[in-house]
Structures are given as structure tokens and as C-alpha cells.
Amino acid sequence: MSTMVARSGLQVDEALAAFVEREVLEAGGHDPAAFWEGFAGLLADYVPRNRALLARREALQAEIDGWHKAHRGQPHDPAAYRAFLEQIGYLVPEPAPFTIGTANVDREIASLAGPQLVVPVLNARFLLNAANARWGSLYDAFYGTDALPDAPAARHGGYDPVRGAAVIAAARDFLDRAVPLAEGASWRDLAAPNDGGIALSDPSQYVGATAAGRLFCHNGLHIEVRFDPDSAIGQSDPAGISDVLLEAALTTIVDLEDSVAAVDAADKLTAYRNWLGVIRGDLTDTFAKGGDTLTRQLASDLSYTDPVGRAASLPGRSLLFVRNVGHLMTSPAIRLADGSDIPEGIMDAAITAAIGALDVAGEGRWRNSRTGSIYIVKPKMHGPEECAFTNDLFDAVENLLELPRYTIKVGVMDEERRTSANLAACIHAVRDRIVFINTGFLDRTGDEIHTSMQAGPMVRKAAMKGSDWLTAYEARNVAIGLACGLSGKAQIGKGMWAAPDRMGAMMIEKIAHPRSGANTAWVPSPTAATLHALHYHAVDVFAAQEHLPPAPGLDALLTIPVAAGTNWSADEIRAELDNNCQGLLGYVVRWIDQGVGCSKVPDIDDVGLMEDRATLRISSQHLSNWLLHGVCSDEQVMDSLRRMAAKVDAQNDGDPAYVALIGNENGPAFRAALDLIFNGAEQPSGYTEPLLHHWRQIAKAG
């Protein structure tokens, strides 16, 4: 149990209170007593509204469940269904045409197109890696992955010059496309540059000279060609080129939500302290690697001399968003006078913004936002009334911190069905502070299943990717965002590539995201960001936005993915159960026992996939749906769980911190898995957080 201290009628974890007061408020010139008094008043206004919104979610879900039960066994009537959703207020009228008014947005968000990382805030090393992923080595990315399918495999330890030659050739081909030389010359034939520089087909692409080489620009993204004829790689190169660095992760979301396991005041304090560290610029992490002790810190800016001899620089780090939690969960870190925990999302808004305010005041080593903005991503909002609540909450936080109106910008995660169906109205509710919308297939599928839980058994999980609703969802997100004026002012994003070891497949498939008109998309690692940056050189996103087909209608989005029949064979049902149970157990056991909210989890075929709570939401909801409709029995699910527990144990055999599932079926991890499946239909919106938090707290208590 943490020690609590009194602050303006609130009970606050003592360590958290000291951190907020000394390291955040006093550093920013704020009076702690005034902050707590103002925050208590804010809570008095917004806690009842927060609770009312959650009650509204449950009331709408009950109405939808009742509709499906009443119409079970009847042919689905799309027109009647849509009229019903309008009648109960699930669907709201479209706003009149409008253009967002967001101002003071950094160019990485507003006018550039490039990769985006999402990183768990609790892991300082990963956080530093992500923040430093603004620049990445194309040579390393090609050499260390399967992104070049025809390149020979490395034949021995250390550097293989044969594979290296294939990497260098591929990098030269990229330069020929992105920064073509004058008179049809090729980078493959380039000799060492002389004082006259490198003759380009378009001389305006030359940005300047760095200490290590030459800097160019294409589609708004910078490329540094480094020359070092004395290096191992440069020695064998006619031009002495030693590497090609790409501007890669333009933006990074520092995540306090789905990728972390933060269940108490101590966890939240670590999260806030790491966010403060990257904002101040002094976060470091020391770790052992390869027998050495290494210390990682934030990268400096890239200095260069422009073509007329002036000193200049480019950011060395990603522009950082911070993702708060949604409206559902509460936190024991701060309690009201009646002893109840406050909404965690309200706590996040106040504290992460207070930390961000230090950047606005210029208190950090570098500026995160050069336009004086604080960027907060808000997940799991259901419809425009919840977006309006967030807008009002951010108004109140700005007042509390004495920030100009709309200093706090918002990213809206389009990952819940009611938001997708009312996206224009959601954007309108935050029209003067919105800087980001995106699609998230994983959470969106979980909500799709839960919303229509009573409609019937859902199609198999893999078949969801071919569903009419998903095609409509992805296209409508971009089209509606463009219609609301986001281009040039905000990001339109796409979801995660989940397989960090399958970069060859990513290079083939993920180019669809910039082609769709999205100016950012999520990738699972800095290396993936470097490779995905190639797609934004291949596609001019802002030109692509001008030639997109019309968006599908709302009826397509509302198509329910119920299976046409349930005549699956026993082997097909068993395979589906095994797939869901293995993924669920593989994620839950690390979350509960180790507090790991996102990691590379081997799937049923032993392919490592980056998984967070969104993947868990799909698996648990899909199993609950099939149980509800009799596709499978409790006994079949338990049989699968036991067999998959053995598989997960084997997959984690080399982890000294791992606690086996077999033989520990009464432990919190296995019991959490049971709850998620057998009580999944009753969970609010199908979310996994309430059960995960409960069982993680039990695990932490020993």
C-alpha cells in the first residue's frame, strides 16, 4: 500500500505528489497549492460527466443487444437497423461541411508524410530508441533484415562483403530514384565528390554539407549520404560512401495506454517520470549488451552548412505525442474525498500536459514542439459526445496550467465503431485542436465483435480482414479526414505492421498506406521505420490524396461480420480456438506476471508478432462470441487452453523471468485468461483492462 497525502480534499500518492510538485510544477513556475486546488475543482466538474458517458455506453449497448435478440433468426434488415441506431442516438446527424481550424502545428504532423512509432513509456531504453529513430541507417536496415529478398545471406560472422555489396547496390538504386544525378548519371558510378559537390538533376534537392557527408531532400524527407573512405565499407566504395541515412520516424507516440501495464501509483510515476525525461531531454538508460555496459541518451540535432554557407540544423529526434488512457479506467494514485479512485484519463491529461508545458516554456534541452504545442493522443472514445468531453477537459487543463487556448492538441483514435460511424461529428467536436486521426484494425475489430455480440457467431478471425465493414472503415477514415480539411494541418494515419521480423513482406504490403492517402502509419521498430520511409519516397502522399475514389457509404460500414453459416468442421473450430487461446495466453502471461504490456510474442506458428491489449481484445471477444452462440463448448475451450498453455511455456523456455502456466493454473495469469474468455461478453465494450488490472494487482501483491 502506498502512503497517501492530503491535497485540497484529495488523497494523493505521496511519491506522485512530490514528483508533480517539485519536478514538474515548481520547475514550470506553478504554485503547487494552486494546482491542487484547481485540479480538485476540475475533478468536481468532470468526474460526474465521465461517469455519465460510461453509463451512456452501457445503455446504448443494452439497446443494441436487445435489438439483436429480438431479431434473432430473421434476415438482417440494413435499413431498419440503421433507423434503429439513429433512433437511440448511436448515429447522430452529419455536421454541415466544415474545415478544421487547428493552428500552430509542427510540420512533421501537418505537411510531411512519414512513419510513426508507438513506444511503451515504461521502458526507458525502448523510449530512447524510438525518440532517436528520426534518423536510421538504410545500410543497416537492408543488411539486418529480409527486406532484400534476392540478397545473399551472410556467410559467416561479422561483415559479409558479398551481402554488403547487394545492400550497397540497393541503396544506390534508391538514390537514383529519389535524388537522380544530372545527365542520367547513376549513383552506382559516382566517384568521390570534389569541392564542386554532386551534380543533381534537380539542384534544389541539395540541402547542405554535414560533418560526415551531404544532405538532400525528396518528398519532404531528408537523406544524408555519408562519406568515409577509410571505413571498412567506404574503402571498397568508388565514392567512399560509408552509409545512407534516412529521415524516418517523423513522429513517435509515447504510450501510457495499450502497450503498458500500469496498474498503480508506482507504475504511473515511472510513466510520468520517463515522459518528463524525454521532454527535458535528460532521460538516459544504462544496460548490458554483448558483455559491455552501455548508456543510451537522446540524440543531438543534425548540424549542417547550407548551400550559401550558413549554419543550420535538423531535428535529431522524433516529434513526440503522448497517448493518455481512455475514459474507462480509474487510478488509485489519486482518490476523491469519498475514497473513490479518480478517472485515470483525467489524471493523465493534467499531469502529462503539465510536463508538456515545460517544453512550451522552453525548459528542455531541446524543443519538442517548435510551434508551442502539446500533442496528446486520446484513445477509445465512443462517438462525438466523448470527443466533446475531451475537448472541454483540455480547455479546463489549459486553464489550470495557464496555457493559451488550444495549446493542447488532440489525436483521435478512430478505433471504436460509434466513432467510425460518426467520424465527421467527432472531428467537428475537436475541430480547433485536432491533429491526428488514424485507423486501428485491432481495437476496431474487438469493438465490432462486442457491439454486435448478440447478432450471431462472427466469421473466423482471419476472415475479418476481408469484411465489408473493414474496407469501408479504412477508406472512409481518409476520405472524411480530407473532407474536414486535415490535409496540411493534421495527420491521417494507418495501423501497425505487427511482424517486426518480416520486413520483406512489409515492403510489399505497407506501401498501400501512403497510396491510400494516409500521411503516416505505424511501424514496430526503428529499423521498420527506416524501411517504411522508402514508401514515402516512392509515393507522394499529398498528390495521391487528390485522386482518391469516393468513400463507401455508411451502410457498408455498418455491415455486421456474422458468419453466413456455422458449418465449420471440427478441425476448423479447433484451429480457431487454438489460434485465439495461444495468442491470448502468450500475451496475458507476460502482462500479469512480468508487467510487460507490449512485446514480440510468438504466434501459433512461432512467428514473432508485436502484441498489445488490442490483440488481446480481439481474441477474448471472438472466443466469448463463439461460446455465446454455441459454436464451441466450455470443454473445447478449456482443452485448447491447456494444450496452448504447454505451447506457450515451451515458447518462453529461455526466459528466466517466465512463470510457467502448466502447473500454475490457479495463478493469476491463467485465471486472468479464463476471466477474459468466459466473462468477456460482460466486459465494458469488450475491454480487457479491468480484468488485467485486477489480476496484475494480485500478482504484484504476491
pLDDT number for residue 566: 85
Q: State pLDDT tens for residues 111-123.
A: 999 999 999 999 9
pLDDT at residue 592 greater than cutoff 70: yes
Q: State pLDDT tens for residues 323-361.
A: 999 999 999 999 999 999 999 999 999 999 999 999 999
The helix/strand/coil state of 413 is strand
pLDDT number for residue 291: 86
- The pTM of this model reads 0.97
pLDDT-based confidence at residue 365 (cuts at 50, 70, 90):
very high
The grid coordinates listed for 464 are: 475479418
How far apart CA 561 and CA 558 sit, in angstroms, is 9
Q: State pLDDT tens for residues 176-222.
A: 999 999 999 999 998 876 555 799 999 999 999 999 999 999 999 99
Catalytic hit among 134, 323, 444, 671: 323
How far apart CA 312 and CA 527 sit, in angstroms, is 27
The grid coordinates listed for 645 are: 498453455
The backbone torsions φ and ψ at residue 228, rounded to the nearest 5 degrees and listed phi first, read -155, 85
pLDDT number for residue 194: 54
How far apart CA 281 and CA 132 sit, in angstroms, is 12
From the list 588, 659, 662, the residue with the least C-alpha distance to 619 is 588
Task: Please compute the mean of the pLDDT values over residues 368-373 and round it to a whole number.
Answer: 98
How far apart CA 431 and CA 485 sit, in angstroms, is 10
Other CB atoms closer than 10 Å to residue 286's CB: what's the count? 11
Q: State pLDDT tens for residues 603-662.
A: 999 999 999 999 999 999 999 999 999 999 999 999 999 999 999 999 999 999 999 999
Q: State pLDDT tens for residues 279-327.
A: 999 999 999 888 899 999 999 999 999 999 999 999 999 999 999 999 9
SS (H, E, C) 33-65: HHHHHHHHHHHHHHHHHHHHHHHHHHHHHHHHH
From the list 103, 107, 115, the residue with the least C-alpha distance to 519 is 115
Q: State pLDDT tens for residues 230-274.
A: 998 988 888 899 999 999 999 999 999 999 999 999 999 999 999
Mean confidence (pLDDT) of the chain: 96
Answer yes or no: are the C-beta atoms of 435 and 102 closer than 8 Å. yes
Verify whether residue 612 is a known catalytic residue. yes
pLDDT at residue 7 greater than cutoff 90: yes
How far apart CA 684 and CA 701 sit, in angstroms, is 25
Task: Please compute the mean of the pLDDT values over residues 668-682 and round it to a whole number.
Answer: 98
Catalytic hit among 258, 443, 612, 649: 612
pLDDT-based confidence at residue 528 (cuts at 50, 70, 90):
very high
Helix (H) or strand (E) holding 518: none
DSSP string of 306-362? -TTS-EEEE-SSPEEEEE---SS-EEEEEE-TTSPEEEHHHHHHHHHHHHHHHHHTT
DSSP character for 606? S
Verify whether residue 606 is a known catalytic residue. no
Task: Please compute the mean of the pLDDT values over residues 465-483 and round it to a whole number.
Answer: 97
DSSP character for 134? G
How far apart CA 660 and CA 648 sit, in angstroms, is 8
Other CB atoms closer than 10 Å to residue 32's CB: what's the count? 16
pLDDT number for residue 236: 81
The length of the chain in residues reads 702
